Amino acid sequence: MSSQLNRRKFLEGSAGVAATTLGATAAVFAPAVQAQTLTLKPEKGAKLRVLRWSRFVQGDIDAYMINVKKFTDKTGIEVRVDNEGWEDVRPKAAVAANTGAGPDIILSTNDDANLYPDKLLDVTDVAEYLGKKYGGWYPAGEAFNRPDGKKWIALPLGAAGSMMVYRESVLKSAGFDSFPKDTDNFLKMLKGVKEKGMPGGMALGNATGDGLWCNWLVWAFGGKLVDKDNKVVIDSAETMKALEYGKEMYANFIPGTLSWLDPNNNKAFLDGQISVTNNGISIYVAAKNNSDPKVKEMAADIQHASFPIGPVGVPTESHLYFNQMIMKYTKVPQAAKEFLRFMMEQEQFDPWLTGAQGYVAPPLAAYAKSAIWTADPKNTPYRDAVKNLRPAGYAGKLGYASAGAAADFIVVNMVAEAVSGSKTPKEAMERAQKRAERYYKV
């Protein structure tokens, strides 16, 4: 499905806010932005094909296409943008990489760039230029896209933050004026809201996005799937503590979370059945834009927070990460690089962040100053998703093993087995260890 630019729709929509605040944002960015130069020479008559994940909020694609149009107007390079559901991009990108034909640029997710690094164009020059200009890339961006610490195999685009979404009034009634910052109080809060008749609930089914909270749980207590040498170490005392804690969490969840896929918590939250969950900003956006006055009213009561910090003492968040890959087979590498550079420049990237209504967190430090993060205080917690992000293959190297282990839901299944009591935490850990060892080839 090709996206068609609709400027009128864009200006009418929320993304229009960005256009009107452009002048003001330039001043905001001024101290963070360092002058840099990069000269790219797009090939004559170049045309580009971009495959990207389908928008989560309409303002995202509207703003993206405005930027694409600006690029075409400026350079004369035609750009065709195709959209696919984010989970369908992986197989398509893999086929493109395999066959050496397809889109010039692919916006993919998580470990994708690490699956076929030798099929991707080296974008070190663009990455260094942008990094120096915009306050540096967050470490997660480097972990995903600069695996050897030298060469950039793709450019970070950002991450769809999976944050804590909660009903302020319910927490207050349970005696919590703000969202708990540590795991001990988080558990107390879960018990409290359950007693108030509106429990929490987080997905434990094979949910690719919302199941990521299981990584947070394991990491928060010091557990991890692999160590830095890719040795599987999930069967550990730390993981055991995490699973014991998870059991107590699960006991206070709404029934049925074992079957939850990505949309279930959104539905239950918007229906007023749960007061706490983990999600992108979409629940809030859906409530805000809902035609039902009751749901619209709920938007005022919805608040967001970062995940609580566990005994390890540092944030251990897991989010859906986005790459921008240029395929090596492209006949117009300079044009492709120029496109990515252009899209990441403040004049384009900031309005795009605004259009995405906080759904995508920036990978470059300077963009934390973007007005979108403070225009509505409820957006602020989503700002630091890339900053606090750990790749799912933490603390090892990314590649086929990490992608395979994540896609096989090894950690999610382990947590689900242990917390639901279908296996003891020890059994669940041992099973996860064995399953993971296959991917990491012991």
Partner 1 sequence: MLDKLQNSRNGLGLLFMLPAAVLLLLFLTYPLGLGVWLGFTDAKVGRSGEWIGLENYEFLWGDSVTRLALFNTLFYTTVASVLKFGLGLWLALLLNRNIRFKTFFRAVILLPYIVPTALSAIAFWWIYDSQFSIISWALVKMGLIDGYIDFLGTPWNARFAVIAANVWRGVPFVAITLLAGLQTISPSYYEASAIDGATRWQQFRHVTLPLLTPIIAVVMTFSVLFTFTDFQLIYVITRGGPLNATHLMATLAFQRAINGGALGEGAAIAIAMVPFLLACIMFSFFGLQRRKWQQGGADK
Q: What angle do CA 261, 434, 243 make, to 5 degrees?
A: 55
Which two three-digit tokens encode residue 43?
A: 């090939």
Alpha-helical runs (H) found in 119-174? 124-133, 139-145, 168-173
First to last CA, the chain: 43
435 binds partner 1 (CB under 8 A): yes
Q: Which is nearer to partner 1, 76 or 91 (CB)?
A: 91
Q: Among 68, 66, 88, 92, which Cα is nearest to 78's?
A: 68
CB 162 within 8 A of CB 280: yes
DSSP 330: -
Of 9, 80, 132, 438, the residue at the interface with partner 1 (CB under 8 A) is 438
427 binds partner 1 (CB under 8 A): no
By CB under 8 A, residue 167 contacts partner 1? no
How many angstroms separate the CA atoms of 436 and 442, rounded? 9
Among 256, 313, 377, 421, binds partner 1 (CB under 8 A): 256
User: Which member of 21, 348, 413, 433 binds partner 1 (CB under 8 A)?
Assistant: 413
Per CB under 8 A, does 408 bind partner 1? yes
User: Nearest-CA neighbor of 425 among 277, 263, 279, 234?
Assistant: 234
- Tell me the HSE value of 307 on the side-chain side, using a 13 A CA sphere: 30
Pairing mode, strands 320-326 and 105-109: antiparallel
**Residue among 207, 225, 336, 360 that touches partner 1 (CB under 8 A):** 207
Distance of closest approach, residue 235 Cβ to partner 1, in angstroms = 15
Residues 221/243, Cβ–Cβ less than 8 Å:
no
Q: Which is nearer to partner 1, 126 or 432 (CB)?
A: 432
Shortest Å distance, C-beta 383 to partner 1 = 29
Which of 67, 264, 266, 278: binder of partner 1 (CB under 8 A)? 264
Of 371 and 406, the one with the shorter C-beta distance to partner 1 is 406
Indicate which single residue of 49, 52, 55, 119 sits in contact with partner 1 (rule: CB under 8 A).
119
22 versus 407: smaller Cβ distance to partner 1? 407
- Length, in residues, of the chain: 442
Write out the residues near partner 1 by the rule CB under 8 A.
Answer: 87, 90-91, 94-95, 97-98, 115-116, 119, 204-208, 254-261, 264, 267-268, 271, 273, 400, 403-405, 407-409, 413, 416-417, 420, 422, 431, 434-435, 438
